[in-house]
Amino acid sequence: MKTHLYQNRAWSTIASVAVFLLYALTYIVPSGYSYGAVLLFLTSLGYLTTKPNWKLSAEDKALIYIFLSIFIIALVAFIIHSNEPKTVDQASRYLLFVPILLLLLKMPPHQWAIWAGIAVGSISAAAFATWQRYGLGIDRPDGFMTSAIPFGDISLMAGILCLPGMFWANAQTTYTRAWRILAVGFLAGLYTSILSGSRGGWLAIPLVIVLLCIAFLKRKGLKQTIISIVLVIAALGVVFTALQDKVIARYDIAVIQINDYAQHRDANTSVGIRLEAWRAAVINIAERPILGWSYKDYAARLQELAAEKKTSQSITELANTHNNYLEVWLHQGIFGLLALLAMFIVPFWFFCKRLRSPNANVQALAVGGASLLVSFFIFGLTQVILGRNNGVIFFGLSLVIFWACMRNEEKKAAEQLSNTPVSQQ
């Protein structure tokens, strides 16, 4: 029995280290997200060799089926369209999430590893962005990522995830002062996002505030919760005010570029080229809505439209449509889009059912998971966030981590309740 207990602790400890590294190294090390991800995957393979006995719920199975569906649909599209192997590469990551989910459902990481890793990652991103902006003179810091947009959005995601962590920390009885680092992490995430100039991600903030209100506004402790939410909103105001010149400048540029596109269809600006790419995608999706286009055929089609002056030549040079949903529908057809939407909608509903859980640990993880899904849904409107390794791995592993840990907290709460004498219930 003791040997079995020690083995379980070892698996859980390794998982904790991996989760901490995933969040802490994402921003300050090239391909930093991969270290924790690889360790989690290798650990899951090792754990599978022990032939554990899983009791999966219908919700657990639904999440696994969605991951498998995304990969299978991408594989079918790859075969039908004779695309290059790299086009199915991102979808293969969803296969890796399955054994990791199975591992964490049995051997979850300690919650401190999640929240500490997120806070450290967010703060390190802010420090790195500051060095790039004011030390190196880079106008839009991009960390070690492909561009400023994913760097800013994923940094914002870390800051947002610090919010439910703050409510979790408030319910702890030990090291409560140390967990104030989560408040710093929240402000750091906002700061990094604004410094990077990634405007599209800012739309997620009001939706997350709505989730926080739904989750934490209760009669019991109402005053304290209202104060906390007001402080969060005030912090948003302070950060935006401190960097208002950059925020206002980015906003004014966006308005001007939208007007230019609406009046003259100017596609030679940051916003204009996105709008033109979306217009071209919608036109071509209508021609092949079921199975979509191969990458080669669509590139040729854009050249034809540009030659006929039906679209701007500038969009032929883009790597993608800058919209996750149009991109998937365009190249995987309606089935790919439905699978993608299911990955956002189904687990979002599962998390939302726990937003007002009486258990503080369950509730914090539910808010974190719901915030992750709604934020990445917004991010995908203006970039193909799940078309990059950093985006898909951060999102997929965070979804798995928050889900598995929440399910384990539910099980522990149920076991404690069943062991409580009737007279005490």
State pLDDT tens for residues 270-304. 778 888 888 999 999 999 999 999 999 999 999 99
Among 210-224, 235-249, 327-341, where is mean pLDDT lowest? 235-249
Q: Is there a domain that residue 271 lies in?
A: no
In whole angstroms, what is the distance from residue 19 CA to residue 56 CA? 22
- Domain enclosing residue 367, as ranges: 2-51+58-248+324-410
pLDDT of amino acid 424: 46
The pLDDT value given to residue 423: 44
Q: What average pLDDT does the segment 61-84 reach?
A: 95
122 contacts 165 by C-beta, under 8 angstroms: no
Q: Is the pLDDT of residue 355 over 80?
A: yes
Structure token digits, residue 62 = 């639904």
Average pLDDT, integer, range 314-318: 84
Identify residue 276 by its one-letter amino acid code: E
282 within domain boundaries: no
In a domain, 289, yes or no: no
Round to whole Å and give the CA distance between 64 and 209.
Answer: 29
Q: Given the structure tokens 């598995």, which residue do they identify? A: 404
Query: What backbone torsions phi and psi does residue 312 show, to the nearest 5 degrees?
Result: -80, 140
Please say whether the beta carbons of 120 and 23 come within 8 A: yes
Reported as a pLDDT band with limits 50, 70 and 90, residue 311 is confident
Q: Do 182 and 162 touch, CB atoms closer than 8 A?
A: yes
Q: How many domains does the chain have?
A: 1
Check residue 349 and give its pLDDT. Answer: 97
Picking from 208, 220, 250, 218, the residue whose alpha carbon sits closest to that of residue 374 is 208
Name residue, tokens 């007002």: 356
Q: Which of 43-57, 122-136, 225-239 has the lowest mean pLDDT?
A: 225-239
Q: Is residue 108 part of a domain?
A: yes
3-class secondary structure per residue, 336-390: HHHHHHHHHHHHHHHHHCCCCCCCHHHHHHHHHHHHHHHHHHHHCCCCCHHHCHH
Token digits for 289?
């809505």
**Sign of the dihedral through C-alpha 261, 267, 269, 273:** positive
For the ranges 82-91, 130-139, 299-308, 367-376, the one whose mean pLDDT is highest:
367-376
Burial class (CB in 10 A: 0-12, 13-18, 19+), 176: exposed
> Would you say residue 128 lies in a domain?
yes
The verdict on residue 167 lying in a domain is: yes
Proportion of the chain above pLDDT 90, given as a percent = 52
With respect to residue 307, please indicate whether it lies within any of the assigned structural domains: no
Which of 25-34, 342-351, 360-369 shows the lowest per-residue confidence on average (mean pLDDT)? 25-34
Domain assignment present for residue 278? The answer is no
CA distance 12 to 8: 6
Per the CB < 8 A criterion, the answer to whether 194 and 242 are in contact is no
Residues 6+ apart with CB under 8 A from 348: 370, 373, 374
- Is the pLDDT assigned to residue 117 strictly greater than 60? yes
